[in-house]
């Protein structure tokens, strides 16, 4: 091998060696994101019912997140958007049920989410739970607001929504039988948030 050829090969080898320390953490991040996507996708399809009737009336329950200030934060805005896209255009009536009290602000999370939904152009019916401070209370307080619905969807991040469905099965299994899948999981959405949500969701009891 000539000196020029050896120098060329050595430069390419050295460049690859320098990049190797970056490859390991990059692969780890990709693996973590892929794992979180799988966890959320599986969670979004669990604890559903079999008694729902499509094309009739539905209630889409959006669980709030701790919110400081006078406007919906990024997570609550995401949950409202997921709730709106979860509404079935074939339903005779679809009501948005927004849950959350003033846990971190004088204004209840439900009102902040309602204002955001209106700003996005939503003009349909809404029912608000302004008093709850926990997921259990979200579901308990939502029950009188959803009893007349033939189909029920619970929206949050996928694992939190599954926890809400588990609580509904405990509190009112007759209503839980009407649970159907919401559109709160989309591949690649909130990709950097999902790993943390997956870890916290798997550590937290989901009611069963």
pLDDT score recorded for residue 189: 79
Residue 107 binned pLDDT confidence (cut-offs 50, 70, 90): very high
User: Are 130 and 108 a contacting pair, CB within 8 Å?
Assistant: yes
User: Are 48 and 167 a contacting pair, CB within 8 Å?
Assistant: no
Q: How far apart are CA 178 and CA 153, in angstroms?
A: 8
**Mean pLDDT within 69-86:** 96
Q: Give how far Cα 135 sits from Cα of 12, 22, 160, Å.
A: 56, 40, 8
- Which position has the token pair 């896209």? 85
Domain segments of the chain: what residues? 44-203
Query: Domain 44-203: which CATH class?
Result: alpha beta
For 10-33, what is each residue's pLDDT tens digit?
455 456 555 456 566 667 667 766
pLDDT score recorded for residue 6: 45
Handedness of CA 36, 159, 43, 154 (dihedral sign): negative
How many DSSP H helices and E strands does the chain contain?
A: 7, 4
Q: Does 1 score more than 60 pLDDT?
A: no
User: 57-63 and 151-155 as β-strands: parallel, antiparallel, unpaired?
Assistant: parallel
Q: pLDDT averaged over the chain?
A: 86
β-strand partners of 99: 63, 129
Q: How far apart are CA 146 and CA 49, in angstroms?
A: 15
Q: Name the helix (H) or strand (E) containing 161.
A: helix 158-171
**Mean pLDDT within 49-64:** 89
Residue 4 binned pLDDT confidence (cut-offs 50, 70, 90): low
- Which position has the token pair 């997956």? 198
Q: Does 120 score more than 70 pLDDT?
A: yes
Pull the structure tokens for residue 141.
């307080």
The pTM for the full model equals 0.81
pLDDT score recorded for residue 10: 43
- CA nearest 152: which of 44, 42, 61? 61
pLDDT score recorded for residue 208: 40
């Amino acid at each position: 091998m000539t000196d020029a050829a050896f120098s060329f090969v050595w430069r390419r080898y050295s460049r690859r060696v320098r990049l190797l320390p970056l490859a390991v953490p990059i692969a780890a991040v990709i693996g973590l994101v892929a794992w979180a996507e799988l966890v959320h996708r599986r969670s979004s399809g669990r604890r559903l019912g079999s008694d729902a009737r499509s094309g009739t009336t539905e209630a889409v329950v959006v669980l709030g997140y701790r919110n400081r200030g006078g406007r919906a934060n990024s997570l609550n805005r995401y949950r409202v958007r997921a709730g709106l896209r979860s509404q079935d255009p074939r339903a005779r009536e679809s009501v948005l049920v927004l849950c959350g009290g003033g846990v971190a602000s004088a204004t209840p999370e439900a009102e902040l989410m309602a204002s955001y939904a209106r700003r996005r152009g939503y003009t349909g019916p809404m029912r608000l739970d302004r008093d709850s401070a926990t997921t259990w209370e979200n579901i308990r307080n939502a029950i009188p607001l959803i009893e007349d619905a033939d189909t029920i969807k619970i929206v949050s991040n996928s694992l939190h929504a599954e926890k809400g469905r588990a609580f509904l099965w405990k509190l009112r299994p007759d209503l839980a039988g009407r649970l159907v899948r919401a559109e709160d999981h989309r591949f690649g959405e909130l990709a950097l948030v999902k790993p943390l949500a997956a870890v916290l969701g798997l550590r937290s009891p989901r009611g069963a």
